[in-house]
Amino acid sequence: MNTTQDDEIKTELSLAFDRSTLLSRPGFLIRRLHQIHCGLFLEETREFNITPVQYSLMTALNRHGEMDQKSVSLKIGLERTSVAEVIPRLESRGLLQRRQSTEDRRVKLVKLSRKGLYLIKKMEERVQRAHDRTIDKIPQDQRALFMLQLIRLVEANNDVGCAPFSLECTDD
Amino acid sequence: MNTTQDDEIKTELSLAFDRSTLLSRPGFLIRRLHQIHCGLFLEETREFNITPVQYSLMTALNRHGEMDQKSVSLKIGLERTSVAEVIPRLESRGLLQRRQSTEDRRVKLVKLSRKGLYLIKKMEERVQRAHDRTIDKIPQDQRALFMLQLIRLVEANNDVGCAPFSLECTDD
DNA sequence: AAGTAAATAGAGGTGTACCTCTTAATACAA
DNA sequence: TTGTATTAAGAGGTACACCTCTATTTACTT
């Protein structure tokens, strides 16, 4: 990054701040971007009637197999009680199955049903498009850096917000 | 950006993807980052019992004066019915005042009360800290570019998600 | 002036995303 | 082994963030 490029960036940035002081607040931009991604996801996958969080939950179950609620929470970075609200909705549509654990009777295990597996396979391409569209306005040669910066922020603050997620294993 | 730097970025990125495929999904990272910012905001401003959205709404009213619900919605990029839920909460705490418009009897005008103004002034420094902390893990020399990329994405997709916000005037 | 379209707001519904309090079961420790 | 701490889950509460449907008022059009 040379000085000329840096100056250009700072000029463009201060022009943006003149358009709206909201644009100077990271928290606002992130909230809007979250709305935008949800909108794009919904646009691409409307016919399936599945939300981004529901999709994350189902793909995590597909990858890791049968799990308890707490593990699901860690896999997808979503608060335990939020997970507990999502699961019954998917279960009532026959996309998940639940059973009591035999080893530990506190635990209820969840797994993806055949119907659920079929659904996420059908959705896969559309979901990828939603993710791609979310960042496709960033010049192609800057996209990798942008993703890396997002990852840095998320990993550095994984303990914030009462929904840390497990980085130890591979998730979806 | 030279080739060596670019290679380093791509290496670090693929290492991250190995840690978790979730990290390759912009939508996931944005959701987590939104959770993280809200967590930091809450941490900094807990004593005031105000959410990020409530703060945005109050500062918008402070900057632009008395407005109807629809205008508030455009100023802060929040769906009209969501605005309609936030307003009564703030009104019941005496932070806002509402009255029927005399020119157009469909319209209900909202404005910040003296108590509301006092509150946002007291919160200002803490809120700035929450925003700063949200991105302070990005190296200082890359922060401007990161902000610019967020702004590009938000502006390019301002029509997505049923909560576009007005870029014409200065907001908060 | 009368009829239609548009705008503003409200009511009621769904789905995250967090909180606290409670209950049941397990693990640990004196 | 008996009491204590921990863990998993559920119940109930608050606050966004969207949706649709409805009622009222205003604007537009013939």
Q: Where are the domains of chain B?
A: 20-157
Chain CA centroid to CA B29, Å: 17
Topology of domain B20-157, per CATH? Arc Repressor Mutant, subunit A (1.10.10)
pLDDT digits over B40-78, tens only? 999 999 999 999 999 999 999 999 999 999 999 999 999
- % of chain A beyond a pLDDT of 90: 77
Structure tokens at B72: 């508030």
Would you put residue A160 in left (φ > 0), alpha (ψ -120 to 50) or beta? beta
What is the C-alpha to C-alpha distance for residues A50 and A128, in angstroms, rounded to an integer? 14
Q: A164 pLDDT exceeds 60? A: no
pLDDT at residue number A31:
95
Q: A63 pLDDT exceeds 80? A: yes
Note whether A22 and B165 are within 8 A (CB): yes
| A99: β partners | A109
Question: H/E/C letters for each residue in A82-144?
Answer: HHHHHHHHHHHCCCEEEEECCCCCCCEEEEECHHHHHHHHHHHHHHHHHHHHHHCCCCHHHHH
pLDDT band with cut points at 50, 70 and 90 for residue B128: very high
> DSSP string spanning B148-159?
HHHHHHHHHTTT
What is the C-alpha to C-alpha distance for residues A26 and B137, in angstroms, rounded to an integer? 13
Cβ-Cβ contacts under 8 Å, B37 against chain A: 26-27, 30-31
For residues B87-112, average pLDDT: 94
Question: Is the CB of residue B105 less than 8 Å away from at least one CB of chain A?
Answer: no
- % of chain A beyond a pLDDT of 70: 92
Flag residues 100-139 of B with CB < 7 Å from strand D: 104-106
For residues B129-150, average pLDDT: 94
pLDDT at residue number A170:
31
**Residues 120-159, chain A: which have Cβ within 8 Å of B?**
130-131, 134-135, 137-138, 141-142, 144-157
pLDDT at residue number A158:
80
Q: A163 pLDDT exceeds 90? A: no
What is the C-alpha to C-alpha distance for residues B13 and B77, in angstroms, rounded to an integer? 32
Cβ-Cβ contacts under 8 Å, A146 against chain B: 146, 149
Per-residue flag: A51 CB under 7 A of strand C: yes
Residue B68: DSSP 8-state: E
Per-residue flag: A160 CB under 7 A of strand C: no
For residues A127-145, average pLDDT: 94
Report pTM. Answer: 0.90
**Partner-chain contact B36 A154, CB within 8 Å:** yes
> Who contacts A153 (Cβ-Cβ below 8 Å, separation ≥6)?
B33, B36, B134, B135, B137, B138
**Partner-chain contact A37 B43, CB within 8 Å:** no
Q: B104 pLDDT exceeds 70? A: yes
Q: B162 pLDDT exceeds 70? A: no
pLDDT at residue number A97:
95
Topology of domain A19-162, per CATH? Arc Repressor Mutant, subunit A (1.10.10)
Q: Looking at the C1' of nucleotide D12, which residue has the nearest alpha carbon?
A: A81
| Mean pLDDT estimate for chain B | 89
pLDDT at residue number A157:
86
Burial (0-12, 13-18, 19+ Cβ within 10 Å), B100: exposed
**Partner-chain contact A52 B16, CB within 8 Å:** no
For residues A100-108, average pLDDT: 93
> Who contacts B97 (Cβ-Cβ below 8 Å, separation ≥6)?
B91, B110, B111, B112, B113
Q: A75 pLDDT exceeds 50? A: yes
